[in-house]
Structure 1
Amino acid sequence: MLTGLGSSGQRLFSPSGNRRRRARDRDWILWGIPLAMIAVAGLLIASTQRQANYANWYQHWVTAGVGVGIALLLARMSMLRLKPLLVPIYGATVISLVAVRMIGTTALGAQRWISIGGVHVQPSEFAKLAAILLLAAVLDRHPVERPVDLLRPLAVISLPWLLVFIQPDLGTSLVFGALLLTMLYWSGMPFEWLVLLLSPLVTALLAGLFPWGLAAWIPLTLVIAYRSLPWKRVALALVSLVQGASALITPWLWQNGLQDYQRDRLVLFLDPTKDPLGGGYHLLQSTVGIGSGGLLGTGLLQGQLTKLRFIPEQHTDFIFSALGEETGFLGTVLVVVGFMLLMWRLLQVAGRARSDFESLVVIGVATMIMFQVVVNIFMTIGLGPVTGIPLPFLSYGRSAMVVNFIALGLCLSVARRSRRALIR
């Protein structure tokens, strides 16, 4: 073995030491789980296309290869270098969202894509990551210590949220709300303020489903506001105004703020048999496909419901149903456990980050991934409405895959910096 010694006898370099250091720099959970899921997903996507007159399943692996290259580059650099570029990145994504409204490509009733060199790019996917980065920088520099401090993070999230919502893309717009709430809480904002931020949504749901519940909910929000906010009388007046407006405007928003198919999706998951050949078809076929897999599944590329294409958009939003049919209950449990391990590791990285900015970015990435996982799986097993949210690393989608790997590379950079700091 070659080694180098200085005049004092101290080892200068060691190939075995370099290998150990490189192995230590690899994060087996952050790398291994996504890559394993991508490998399986390629086969599942191929299975969904067996009876189709096209085959692009291999592009899932090609896009993943590009994403891995980007992640490797980002993992080797300090994320702090990105800080001067955050506002231009955010501005570029907002401009791209505006461009979608003017020159975007329409498919399945929504205008969400821009065609660049024959490749469809979905700007809303990149907008999620841009919002995470700028929101982390804002909360790092201006933590929420007074109610007025909420204006900055609300402004950062509101613009891309609105542009995505009107595409219309209800599913992706929900991700922005989850990002805002989680990152605010991680930055140290009082939990009571988080409840008050969520309260208009709860009020709207109660007004539409259980109006009698408002008699207890609205007084509770007033108590929370009185105990946690300054300027007690002003706070009570504002909270009362917001709660009243949320309760009164909900019927109008239900009729005019949502498309017909969006209203169907939000209602039919409670009983998809009311429209088994229309709005409830996806949910019914998805649950049948997952249930038919049993304990061990039919085997990869062997699912009959998948082969006969009973489930529309199965290679994208409903890939979990193909997973359930072909790998069974065991396969779905392994995927869920894999995502839980990924979340646990991201929380570790966020907790050990060397700066608040890096910690907030990692927690934003964790929220983006796990929110999509929960909503997508709940959707495919019939516990939630169909919202059009892909399953990270498993659903086919170039823009989503690239964004997920960019986010992964940023988290790997934070993990690497924190390990180097511990070693020193």
Structure 2
Amino acid sequence: TPKRQSTMFKRWLLALLPRVGLIVLGLCCCLSLFYLLACKPTSPGSQQSLLWSGGATSKEGYMALLQEREDSHRHYINSLTKQIAQLKEALQERTQQLQESLDKAKTRGILPQGLESLHKTPTQTDLKNFLHSQLNQAEVISGVQLPSEYAVIPFDTFTLRRVYQLEMGLTRHPEERPVRRDRRDELISAVETALHVLNGPQQHTDNTRRKSTYSPSDFIEGLTRTERDRGTVYELMFKGAGPRDFTQLVLFRPFGPVMKVKSESVDTRGTLINIIVPLSKRPDMFRQFINNFREVCIQQDGRVHLTVVYFGRDQIDQVKAMLDQTTRETRFRSFTLIQLNENFSRGRGLDVGARAWRRSQNVLLFFCDVDIHFTADFLTSCRLNAEPGERGLLPFKHLCHIFKRYPDD
């Protein structure tokens, strides 16, 4: 019937509407996507990729882009050149005005003190004179008078691997760990400069007994300190041609290029060390000391003398027996035993031991305690850092990293 057909048509129309809506929505999305792709601006990367694609059109576009960039750089260079020319012209004009003002002030006699050198053009000779004046003012070639001991600038000892600082005092370990990178580079640069000097042709003509070639392994130790208004001094010690020959090189860096101050050979063959030990009882500790003395001083070095100042009578027979046994086994007879019937006094013992030296040979005195253990390198350091006629204690920087007490003390 017509009513039934109308109802079926409505149902079909209602079922078709969602499908039509989905189709229309899909068409709208496609149209929007196409619109976005068509209206999106072309990026430089895509343009460059198009230019790099094959074909005559891409090559011509690339050449045009290259020409445009070149014109832009040329324009920028021309602009900078004009600015530089203008600055030079302004500088020349200001310099001329300053020169005229200085000439007028000099003519009138009112030129301020210290400005006389402004009208001169600095030369290489002026720079050398300034560096040499810094060297002469620094405490390198000769000492300077200081108001007190607090004004003394301490040295630091360094090797290729470690730096030992005196400013740490006794409360902290003097070894700088880890060494700062800038400080390590500075010290290594000083050693490299010293090697270039030692291996240079001029050094070869000055010293006929020098080694053929110096290497970093020949570097023993160095001293360095910095005067804040002068510069930095380096005293470097290298092994020489023989086992007891050494070369000392002094360099100075006046906040500029490193300068060579002096280079000299050091011969330690005739330097005898007199080790003075004050002692009272403690035979076990003296036995450990004499064993270390036999191993280092007698077997490895051989240029030492031992002076023992003994206080009292108790257990002195044991000390004599140890010295006699050492003499029989090693045939080393450079001993002196002094007995004092007094209470123990370290200062008194050191004074008596130093005055007991009666030989004509000049000797290097080393005041030592019985509980100290030292090495052959320390004896070498003592000889390298002492000169005849000097009096005083060896600086703490040489002792702090070489000495060590016995573990059972």
TM bucket (normalised to shorter chain) is under 0.3
Which structure shows the bigger proportion of residues in strand conformation?
2
- The normalised TM-score by structure 2 is 0.23
- The normalised TM-score by structure 1 is 0.23
Which structure shows the bigger proportion of residues in helix conformation?
1
Structure exhibiting the larger radius of gyration computed from Cα positions? 2
